[in-house]
Amino acid sequence: MTAQTRESANPSRPRSRPTTALKKAERADPRPLSRSVHPLPIRLAHWINIPLLAIMAGSGLQIYAAYPNLGPRGGQYAWYPLQGVTPPGWMRFGGWLAGARHWHFAVAWFLILNGLIYLGYLIFSGEWRRRMFLLRRDGTSAIAMVAYYVRLRATPPPEGFYNGLQRLAYTSAIAFAVIAVFSGLAIYKPVQLHLLTAAFGGYDFARVIHLGALAMLAMFTATHLVLVALHPRTIVNMISGGPRG
């Protein structure tokens, strides 16, 4: 009699537990079977973000061009190598300082709303489990992926829904966006929000942090575009939702 026959003949006998490897695989890819790769709310937030971020970045650089220095007037920071360098015109949006400010602060609220809806969906749908970086689950995978990219490892680490480095990148982008929002509020209303401004080290340093967050988001976007160009199928998935699995 086979093991399967003996089990069916004795229904009261408990079935064997899943193997450790299977449990690890489930934890690495906690994806509900009926859910697409990119659910509709995530796709909508992604595509809405593109024009909003472009306008925010361009108008922000136009505002920066009115005083293209870091540090207070007469006491610019010596460590910043681009003091007095104005961003090129093709990177700026808004035409002039007042126009750029109108665009920047108007679009900012739509961007914040879109971000809150996105984060709310991640939390309440449970999507954060498969998209956000968790150190215990993803730390080793992220290090292994870096080693693979710099040719210290011959093969990439096993992947679930995302590899650890991808999760780290996407989680970092969300963190930089949050920093950009709060530092932006600090320099938008430095008197009314003086406690927030003080938490960033004052107006001038809040401005440094705000521009730094923009630079990090720009680096993330550039890397993202390169990877999309190398794997164009991801564009189709972000439009259609991708396969269900």
For the chain, the structural domain boundaries read 35-71+79-131, 146-234
User: pLDDT tens string for the chain (245 positions)?
Assistant: 444 444 444 444 444 444 444 344 444 444 444 577 889 999 999 999 999 999 999 999 999 999 999 999 888 999 999 999 999 999 999 999 999 999 999 999 999 999 999 999 999 999 999 899 999 999 999 999 999 989 999 888 887 778 899 899 999 999 999 999 999 999 999 999 999 999 999 999 999 999 999 999 999 999 888 888 887 888 888 888 877 75
User: Which residue pairs from 225-232 have beta carbons closer than 8 angstroms and sit at least 24 positions apart in sequence?
Assistant: none
pTM of the model as a whole: 0.79
* Other CB atoms within 10 A of residue 3 CB: 8
User: Which residues, 6 or more positions from 120, have their beta carbon under 8 angstroms from its beta carbon?
Assistant: none
d(CA 12, CA 2): 17
